Structure 1
Amino acid sequence: MAEKLLTISAFAKLFKTTQYTIRHYEDKGLLLPAKIAENGYRQYGMAEAYQLSFILFLRALDLSVAEIKLILTTDYPEQTMLLNKKQALQQEIARLQALERTVDEQLQQATHETTYRVNQTIHLRVLKRLPFAQDFDLSVVEAIDWQPDLMVRQLYYVIDEAGITAADVDYVNAHGTGTVANELAESAALARVFGDEGTVPISSTKSMTGHLLGAAGALEAIVTIGALQAGTLPPNVGLQNTDPDCHVNLIKTPLAAPDAQYGMSNSFGFGGHNAVLLLKKWSD
């Protein structure tokens, strides 16, 4: 009984490949049809099916066409090549498993991080708009010599205009860039206004967001509003040891403050971003 042969289209469909792939292997000398009919149709049988199956298997192992031809047309020990490929695959599996463990550790850490969501409508009342007392040109930013006097004047200005005292401020979102110049000047100004190592809790959310430059002030004002509404003050992420020259009360872990009413947001930077906002928790 004659073997039933398949056309190239049926042969390609059987192996879920394309006619062009089969012709490519034929052009490279890896595969030959069992028969070419008078009308030019190429036909394939069981032997060609085994051959193509082996070729596709080797290609799945990422062997090149040249390597496959070496195995098929010479006495090259294919077992050696397959063992080398197996070793490479085992190394890749070990790498992926290590990567998976790293991802799992990151996910586990993420599940332990506290996320705060403000579900209430946030209402903002502007108590007083602070005029810019000093602008800084970006071209001379490196020449800025930070002094706490300017900051002290701004802090007292908004407190006085709001008709409250420094003791009424429950939280300060500091400019807090993490630079020596800013931290020494701003902490000195805050200590002079709120008392040396005063009780007002202070944090810089740049420890979580980085420095957003022109967007920093707006985002930190929103964070201050959210902290008042949620009754939880954000920490200085990563803070372990405080600078002995910074005499302020820094928040190290999220701080519950359900009774907090007033929050201050500081922006002391170049490009004219030099302002202090005093925000009050909304109450009907």
Structure 2
Amino acid sequence: MQTYSIAEVAKIFNITKYTIRHYVDTQLLTPTKNTGNGYYAFTDADLYRLYQIITFRKIGYNIAEIKTVLSQGELTDAFKFAEQKIQQQIDALLKVKADIQEIVQAQGNTQFNDIFFCEKPTRFLKKIPVDFLHHGEVDLFAASQSDYFQIDHVNYMVHRDGQIDACFPSHANDYDYQLAAGTYACMDILAADEQQLEQQVARFKRDPLIQGRLQAGNGELHGYENILKSLAYSEETVFTVEVIL
């Protein structure tokens, strides 16, 4: 019967001898040990078992789980479950890939501090309860305890008297503000601090078109931190402000 040393097995499977010893120490592998020299001798059956172990490790099983699986006579169900597990991981990675692509695309289409126009659907906003505010700012920890709050969906309504209401997206049956569908004048602002943000918002409001809309009382300034675009910067934050035309 052909046998192999631990060094030969390590080379066959391109893994370290330490890894093989770990499988032996945890009794996942049970090769014959030469009592005279203390060396292990691995048979074809041991190599087959090691191939199974390596396969389940690639799938993501830990040592205890592999022990349980290999104690079963039939492994088909284990591989079916593993297939589902891997598909879930693939789906999660595809979602991450889509998010990354969206971030890259958003950056490619953005010109900061310039007014642009876009169509927006009808949107509904609900004021964030005072319990979730701290000195006028959203207490993210407190707000995170609610069922409706999402960190990337904080909106701000800026009134003509300077009052600012922090809001979250809502629906037609429960809202404080309705943003009508239509064409909006917008600006993406890249700011490193609050002063830069205020300067650019003031510049946006001084534009004759925007100024006319605000003074006529037909539109309120709506803004939000654009999380998707902000993710591409380590020091600055992207804010989007808009007024309906």
TM-score by length of 1: 0.42
Bigger-Rg structure (1/2)? 1
